[in-house]
Structure 1
Amino acid sequence: MPAAAAPVTLVADGVVRGASVAGPGWVRVVDGRIAATGDGPPPSDLPGAPGEQVRVAGVLAPGFVDIHHHGALGHDYGSASAEDAVAAADHHRRRGSTTLCASVATAPLAVLEERVDLLSGLVADGVFAGIHLEGPYLDAGHRGCHAPDLLRPPSVAELRRLVGAARGALRMVTLAPELPGAGDAIRYLVAEGVTVAVGHTSCTAGQARAAFDAGATVLTHAFNGMPPLHHREPGPLGAALFDERVTIELILDGHHVAPEPARVLAAVAPGRLALISDAMAATGLGDGAYAIGGSDVVVTGSVARATSNGSLAGSTIAVADAFAAAVGVLGLDVAAAVACASATPARALGLAEPRIAAGAPADLVAVEGGRVTRVLRAGRFVA
């Protein structure tokens, strides 16, 4: 076990508190947790040993939460060793995502069991907050880069095996609700405490509503992997837009969704919009050949596409990049963009919401001009 970090008092131009930014302000960190926080200059009688005072440019905010990402630095959670999975997680953590769920794409059942077994150990170690299975229960017509020969209808018997192998670490499963057996699968997963997301689907709005009524509460990467929003058949996106039970994921990388439809989401569902990276193995590296979900992928100009059908195959960003776009492209204020990158995705998966308050873990980011400049996890600066 590493020694506890020395107490430190962070002084910043502002501090995100709920839906607003107050400032200037300060945050006192002791033993990896927030001991106290306030506005103005820090008082002289702060708890713990004196420690160091660090001036942080910009605004202090809760750390970001990425509930949907597949890896980085050439490592995919569908095949990576434990050591390589940690390296991928560390990359995202350095970019400001202090809480991470590891996403695993479509694979045979035996491989998925092995994957969730390995990753559950990293959840127990605190590397990840949970595991997300994106497939194999997806629609072939909206499969993206997922291998078509591995797609199949959901099976409660299979899901029991996966839930068991995950040992409580399975947090979310994405599935297409129009597939046979989907209703039973949704109800089973919800009863097991697993969040169900609707995605990679051809479903109608009515089928999506039935899934939400059965307990599904997330829409996987809105606009992508689903029919477009149509004025007579609004599809899963139309069903999710006005359903207060549903959190809507968005990949805001400049490629997956244009600014105008992204602004629609921000305007219609401001408290339910969750920024995700959907980062694949090329994240943190350059262009080249990679693989995800059993399919070959080529990255050109930082854009990943499946070689089989030209479909976008995840992104090469971190949530920090999506946050910057939320401020600079969507025009959200800093506090609103932070909520989309932090509290909203955490709430969607039943995770503890990062916050700047006494007693909370000291998972923090400093942002200046819409960009993340410093990161703390458990009270330690991340290089």
Structure 2
Amino acid sequence: MSQAIEGHILTPQGFVHGRLLHTQGRIEAIEGTPIPTERVLREADAIVLPGFVDCHVHGGDGHDIMQGGDAAAQVARCHARHGTTALLATTMTAPFAEIEAALRALSPHCVRRPSGGARVLGVHLEGPYISPGKLGAQPAFAITLDLEQLQALSRLAPIRVLTLAPEVNDHQSRIAELNRAGFIVQIGHSAGSYDDGVAALEQGARGFTHLFNAMTGLHHREPGMVGAALAHAQHAELIPDLLHLHPGAIRAALRAIPCAYCVTDSTSAAGMPDGEYQLGRYRVFKCLGGVRLADNTLAGSALTMDQALRNLVAIGLALDDAARRVSTYAADYLGMTQIGRLQPGAAADVVVFDRDLRLRRVLIEGEEIEISAASADTARP
């Protein structure tokens, strides 16, 4: 039997006022009349958007992906309560044995969605194949790419996205090989030049890991990795917590990179009060909305995707554009056309907001998820 959700619904063609019908975890039909985006936040009692897709999640609710055990399920539940319906569990640079243990623990959650949690699409391996000179908050265990080692890891849990510093040793020449092996290569944690970035894109690198952060910056005579992304990329991650990036940097990236999409880079501090938490091997400290190492280096975030949406709207993005930046573009990047959009045949992954962008409902494959009380009380500025 079909169930209905009524309100202003974001379809691939734009907003319609009407109802969405879903049954057995899939969208059956969307019925309605087109409505201009600018009217939605003024009029809507219910704003119906695609469930969020987060390609960069380290933790949440006090749990860290590198801990193994049931941590991934707890992280998936944390982010589901904030509207994320699908995510990539993201690892830290660490000795091989620690990454291996984390992926073993992740494996069953990639096969079956945790009860009450977001779908775990697979792994984003953020390191260890990065630059020792651009570790950011990653531990100092960077190594050169070993494809056999990488494939052994991916047999434990599917690695969908790989962060790589192309200028390190022979990494540049291995990108096409990585693509053929089924890995999406992102440039990140890189001390490489603009030319290194352009060459990596030409070899088949697809995007950039947390653009602007932990990479060579833009200078008018040395454009760096940031310049390569702004000049040539189709996709890149952005962390819109308004700490990692100034609103002007976000808007510059969105103007230059057609399908730039947002990630949280969230740590175990997401969804938790201020205090001390774990990020891989590091102790991190949440204070005033940010997460930092003891030396004040930003170390991931406490961001959730519902707040990311509110932040994008607050800096001036239209609601339909903001919604696609936290859902559709990431799904497209992963080649997954059945998530991140509201259309017949797609998964019934749905988030519902009120006109103040307070989260009211989350459905994953049609299952109603209990939402976070904090999100339900948080309105846009």
The TM-score, its normalising length taken from structure 1, stands at: 0.88
Q: Percent identity?
A: 33
- State how far apart, in whole Å, the 2-side matches of 1:240 and 1:112 are: 29
Measure how far apart 1:181 and its partner are.
Answer: 2.3
Q: Name 1:142's counterpart in structure 2.
A: 134
Give the number of equivalent residue pairs: 354
Measure how far apart 1:40 and its partner are.
Answer: 5.1
- State how far apart, in whole Å, the 1-side matches of 2:353 and 2:255 are: 23
> Aligned match of 1:8 in 3, 10, 24?
3
Is 2:211 the counterpart of 1:225? no
Q: Structure 1 19/220 Cα, relative in aligned 2: closer, same or farther at 3 Å?
A: farther
Q: Mapping of 1:135-284 within 5 angstroms?
A: 135-148=127-140, 150-166=141-157, 169-244=158-233, 246-269=234-257, 271-284=258-271
Kindly provide the amino acid, as one letter, of the partner of residue 163 in structure 1: S
Structure 1: state its 5+ residue gaps.
1-5, 42-55
Q: Name 1:44's counterpart in structure 2.
A: none
Equivalent pair of 2:27/2:348 in contact (CA under 8 Å): yes
Structure 2: state its 5+ residue gaps.
35-43, 114-118, 371-381
> Aligned match of 2:330 in 340, 345, 351?
345
Kindly provide the amino acid, as one letter, of the partner of residue 164 in structure 1: R
Q: Name 1:79's counterpart in structure 2.
A: 67
Equivalent pair of 1:72/1:91 in contact (CA under 8 Å): yes
Kindly provide the amino acid, as one letter, of the partner of residue 258 in structure 1: H
- State how far apart, in whole Å, the 2-side matches of 1:382 and 1:74 are: 20
Measure how far apart 1:321 and its partner are.
Answer: 1.0
Measure how far apart 1:346 and its partner are.
Answer: 1.1
Q: Name 2:308's counterpart in structure 1.
A: 322
Kindly provide the amino acid, as one letter, of the partner of residue 152 in structure 2: R
Find the residue that maps to 1:272 and give its secondary structure: coil
Is 2:53 the counterpart of 1:60? no
Measure how far apart 1:266 and its partner are.
Answer: 1.8
- State how far apart, in whole Å, the 2-side matches of 1:339 and 1:290 are: 31
Cα root mean square deviation, aligned: 1.8
Equivalent pair of 1:120/1:131 in contact (CA under 8 Å): no
Q: Mapping of 1:301-320 within 5 angstroms?
A: 301-307=288-294, 309-320=295-306
- State how far apart, in whole Å, the 1-side matches of 2:67 and 2:20 are: 40
Q: Structure 1 185/295 Cα, relative in aligned 2: closer, same or farther at 3 Å?
A: farther
Kindly provide the amino acid, as one letter, of the partner of residue 59 in structure 1: I
Find the residue that maps to 2:110 and give its secondary structure: helix
Equivalent pair of 1:286/1:302 in contact (CA under 8 Å): no
Q: Name 2:101's counterpart in structure 1.
A: 114
- State how far apart, in whole Å, the 1-side matches of 2:336 and 2:103 are: 19
Q: Name 2:320's counterpart in structure 1.
A: 335
